[in-house]
Amino acid sequence: MDIAIRHAPSFAVARCTLGGSETVRAESGAMMATSQGVAVEAAMQGGLMKSLKRGVLGGESFFITTYTAPPEGGWVDVAANLPGDMTSVEVGATPVLIQRGSYIASESGVGIDTKWGGFKSLFGGEGGFLIRASGTGEVLLSCYGALDRIRLAEGETIVVDSGHMVAFEEGVTFNLRRAAGGKTIQTLKSGEGFVFDFEGPGEVMVQSRNPNALVQWLTTVLPFSRS
């Protein structure tokens, strides 16, 4: 599969070009267009329990859609719900952990499962569970806004606001703490919530906009529904 990303970084669309009978798996609803003859099948991947974990716990759809190219090959265009950038990550010896909502598509050799990220993820606003991509192949990730990919050396650290985290390699260690020192009131006064301390070696991906902040802003400006 060959991936070409266009309209980045504001409204990225990824074209997955497939060889004859080659397949790509995508999050339900991510498809924008396909070439003529591409077969589409929505099904549970990995059985009922894995699909339930991915959908209920991981924040992704219950079904994964598989696109299969005809003998002469074809292409599939995929895009995210929110405006922003996309990136392709090569999964191999090191699995990648992905925040809720950032997984878009992957090659057939990549397995998508759900991993408990610990209570530090739960209180960081990530829902406690992360999407785990393992196996061999490329994974397409989306973000809200622009994307930064930061490669950390052994022992190197970076502090990331919990709402700006997109994904990180499984070998990267992380810890959650309040953004401001002291009591909770200091965190509220700072205008920040919780942050992750990531320590290398490995790669961390962050987004320039916070989806949670968008939801909070919309809540303040949209009228309350009336019965």
The contacts of residue 152 (CB under 8 Å, 6+ apart) are 158, 172, 198, 199, 200, 201, 202, 203, 204
Gap between the Cα atoms of 5 and 140, Å rounded: 10
109-126 mean pLDDT:
65
Burial class (CB within 10 angstroms; exposed 0-12, middle 13-18, buried 19+) of 45:
middle
34: pLDDT strictly greater than 80: yes
pLDDT of residue 44: 54
Gap between the Cα atoms of 99 and 162, Å rounded: 10
pLDDT of residue 219: 86
79-100 mean pLDDT:
94
CATH 3.60.160.10 fits 2-220, yes or no: yes
167: pLDDT strictly greater than 70: yes
111: pLDDT strictly greater than 50: yes
146: pLDDT strictly greater than 90: yes
190: pLDDT strictly greater than 50: no
The contacts of residue 62 (CB under 8 Å, 6+ apart) are 28, 44, 51, 52, 54, 55
Per-chain mean pLDDT for the chain? 84
- Please answer whether residues 93 and 20 qualify as being in contact, where contact means their C-beta atoms are separated by less than 8 angstroms: no
pLDDT of residue 60: 47
- Please answer whether residues 174 and 198 qualify as being in contact, where contact means their C-beta atoms are separated by less than 8 angstroms: yes
Number of DSSP helices (H) and strands (E) in the chain, helices first: 4, 19
Confidence of residue 43 (pLDDT cuts 50, 70, 90): low
Gap between the Cα atoms of 86 and 166, Å rounded: 11
119: pLDDT strictly greater than 60: no
Pick the residue with more confidence: 147 or 195? Answer: 147
Nearest alpha carbon to residue 146 among 49, 51, 8, 18: 8
Please state the φ and ψ torsions of residue 224, each to the nearest 5 degrees. Answer: -70, 145
- Please answer whether residues 44 and 62 qualify as being in contact, where contact means their C-beta atoms are separated by less than 8 angstroms: yes
Gap between the Cα atoms of 205 and 169, Å rounded: 9
- Please answer whether residues 97 and 170 qualify as being in contact, where contact means their C-beta atoms are separated by less than 8 angstroms: yes
Torsion of CA 182, 192, 208, 198, to 10 degrees: 20
